[in-house]
Chain A
Amino acid sequence: MNTQFLVDNIKRFSDNTKNHIEKENRSIAWLSELYCFFRHGCSPDDYFRYEFYKKSDYERSRFITYRRSQRLIKQYNNPEFTKFFQEKQLFNTKFNEFLGREWIDCSKASGDDFASFVHRHGCILMKPLRGGQGKGIFKLSDKDIRTFELERHKDFLAEQIIVQHPKMALLNSSSVNTIRVLTFKGKVIACALRIGGEGAIVDNLHSNGVCAHLDVKKGIIDNLCINNKLEKFLYHPGSHIQLVGFQVPNWDKVIQTAKAAARVVPEVQYIGWDIAVTENGTALIEGNHDPGHDVVQMIAQTGLYRDIQKLERL
């Protein structure tokens, strides 16, 4: 852990304190966070995302915090098999049946293959093999293929662009809005819908998007949505579509896909799946062996650690 990381965290924590906690209680917030860190393993960001400043100790123990998440990853995700999730070309080969799109490995493809692939789809998505949070992804259209140098993009993956369900495109058309499904031991624990910000190409929260809590049984947004700054939204900030009450189409297929995909690599049991909804079904975007523990819990403020502990005992 370097000093810069620590300084950043303290800075963020102090900013958040000003936004969320009344003046008279601020001094105690630092002590309270220190206690929560040692007792519950909660990071400074968790403290505000889960509103630990107003929760009792019992309720705090219901949440998957940073340390608990790390423990689950260490215990249930075999590091020898996490390469299927880290490396995109291995992931795509392993989970080919769920992908719902064509793809090509740039390091193996010849120039002609690549050109015909781009020509066939008109416009494709280039993804770097490593890297998270949507960094380094760009679109490549048929027109730009002449100036494009394949040699310099050997560590990329070319993928057909997913055409999402028109109902999902209504929410925000510039990004593919994916559903994050958290599975543990093959069971679906919770779901969240991430919607990109206006004009953003990815749907991550880091790009001004909002995320919504979904009812696992019905696939309906049942709470106000939240953004990176923990502001609450009833309407999408860009498209002004009403979010609360929105029903995700093909919901049964989303759950089926997540359950089926969770069985493919049984050595990795604690996974966050990103699933897009298309006209006829679903498309699995990626699986995270290091799933964000916050997005599924912080919107509706429901702790999931008890559910996970129950499954652990089985």
Chain B
Amino acid sequence: MKYFGHDLPSLNHIKNRVNEYINLLPEEDNISKAWLAFDYVRSFLLYGCGAMDYFLYGFYDLNSHGKKKFLTVKQRVLYDYKKNTPKGVDTVLNKEKALVRFAPFINREWCGQQYHNSEKEYELFEQKHDEAIVKPIGAMGGSGVHIVNISALRKNDKTLYQYCKENKMLVEEIIRQHEKMNLMYAECINTIRVVTVDGDCIGACLRIGTGGSEIDNAHAGGIFAEVDKVTGIVISKAMNYKMQRFIKHPDTATIIPGFEIPEWDKVLFLVNEASKLIPEVSLVGWDIAISADGPTIVEVNHMPGMELIQAPNRHGVRYWMNKKG
């Protein structure tokens, strides 16, 4: 079944997800499973929340007034359908097109399948860099993103060009991260997710990798914490999709609440300017990395996961949608 262009998950899948989350709830809570199932179905019908929305926002703790304050999956899809045009969505979905569109805000080299795709350009790239990050062009949630060692590839008698062509990937220079962000976790780029509606920032979150992971995506076990959108200071504990909360980073032991993101005013400026480049998309989630030379865009999302900015402090942002109509 299709719902405004999106595949609806099967009932069985939803049931499994709800069951998974129920098992993650702390045992001493002992909320009855039947009640949770009933309340989930009710909330789904009334507010359009998915299983993740329901449990990450703590809908079982809220009454109707509390639930109304959150932006759920259904409202996100509907808003996306109404305000984001398909052409704009295609631009941000395709990582290559996005890199071209936002070229002024990207300070790294890359080679793709459609653009910068000649063998010569790949060769030049290989000469300059020893390691690079490859990304599948259409994938979401950080799946398939990994670092390749170019000299190791050569030993296997394979050029970077062949490797990327086979796997339909684009290759990017690895971003050198700001020293302060390295203090948090040095093994991946810790990006900042800023969500904007027509260029206004409605919320931000800091995503941090954990456990030796090369990416910071929450789907890959990363943790995320809410950021004050005016000052760029982390104002909540970090949490992960398993609903565990962290006051210190589990690997580096850096204190997470109170962590100040460097060059925050530049981030806000960048987001504001960049959203002028893509007026076709109203609701955008920007993944910003703080590189050694200043903020830069890593990725753009047309239908950003609102759990990143709403869940850590359980602070809903629906009023923004109401304002914008």
Contact = CB atoms under 8 A, between A and B. Distances in A.
Q: Do A and B originate from a single complex?
A: yes
B258 A245 contact: yes
Interface residues of A, number: 27
A54 B62 contact: yes
A246 interface: yes
7 contacts: A56-B62, A220-B247, A220-B258, A222-B237, A223-B313, A224-B235, A242-B258
B230 to A, nearest CB: 8
A244 B248 contact: no
Contact of B236 (A55, A223, A310): A223
A306 interface: yes
A245 B62 contact: no
Nearest to A28: B65
A247 interface: yes
B16 interface: no
Interface string A121-133: 0000000000000
A5 interface: no
Nearest to A309: B28
Nearest to B316: A54
B65 A25 contact: yes
Interface string B202-241: 0000000000000000000000000010010111110000
A59 interface: yes
Interface string B304-325: 0000000001100000000000
Nearest to A215: B247
Interface residues of B, number: 28
A58 B59 CA distance: 11
A168 interface: no
A244 B257 contact: yes
A223 B235 contact: yes
A54 B247 contact: no
B259 A245 contact: yes
Interface centre among B236, B255, B314 (most CB of A within 10 A): B255
A59 B28 contact: no
Nearest to A222: B257
A236 to B, nearest CB: 13
A211 to B, nearest CB: 16
B234 A245 contact: yes
Nearest to A307: B28
Given A223-B257, A234-B233, A244-B234, A56 B31 contact: no
B63 A244 contact: no
Given A218-B248, A245-B234, A245-B258, 13 more contacts: A21-B65, A55-B63, A59-B58, A59-B60, A215-B247, A222-B237, A223-B257, A234-B228, A242-B260, A244-B233, A246-B258, A247-B255, A301-B314
B165 interface: no
